[in-house]
Amino acid sequence: MTHQHLTDEARPPLTPVRQLSLRFSSTRRGARLARQLAVQQFTEWTGLPYDSDRARTVALVTAELASNAVRHGSLPGRDFRLALLLLPDRFRVEVTDTRPERLPPSMTPQPADETSGRGLLLVEAYADRWGRTVRDAYTKTVWAEVLLPTAGS
């Protein structure tokens, strides 16, 4: 499986089969609810079981992106937005926060004694593609995609 990190310029065009977008409070509870919703929608839309590898991947990447939005991308009183898109061949999770100047760090390993900073390494390892998009001076979106099984896989 190949994993790709893409920036704004390399973003593929999207034509969702289904989509959902909700705002969550920039709290740990908001991040947890976003993760739960993402997995619920994934299993509902795809018919894949809740305990499948792909559902676990959706849970992991959503948890990490939502947690980063809360920890690094929030301003007081501002929520983050979770968008879920079912595309013909993949499921896409987008988390939009209010700190466009705080872009995800480069994918360099953290020193062994660091207690944080490894979350995007997990996204890199588990998502089939991920990246970031900054469309305006007020928000940024970090997204991750999980490929859906093809017939016979």
For residue range 61-100, what is the model confidence (pLDDT) as tens digits? 999 999 988 887 666 667 899 999 999 999 999 999 887 7
Partner residues linked to 83 by β-bridges: 21, 94
Return the structure tokens found at 60. Answer: 């992991």
Any idea where the domains of the chain sit in the sequence?
A: 4-9+19-104+117-147
Q: The domain 4-9+19-104+117-147 belongs to what CATH superfamily?
A: Histidine kinase-like ATPase, C-terminal domain (3.30.565.10)
Report the share of the chain in percent with pLDDT over 70: 73
Pairwise CA distance, residues 47 & 72, whole Å: 34
CA-CA-CA-CA torsion for 21, 27, 31, 33, nearest 10 degrees? -70
Mean pLDDT of the chain: 82
Pairwise CA distance, residues 129 & 5, whole Å: 6
Pairwise CA distance, residues 31 & 8, whole Å: 24
**pLDDT surpassing 90 at residue 111:** no
pLDDT of residue 9: 46
Partner residues linked to 133 by β-bridges: 141
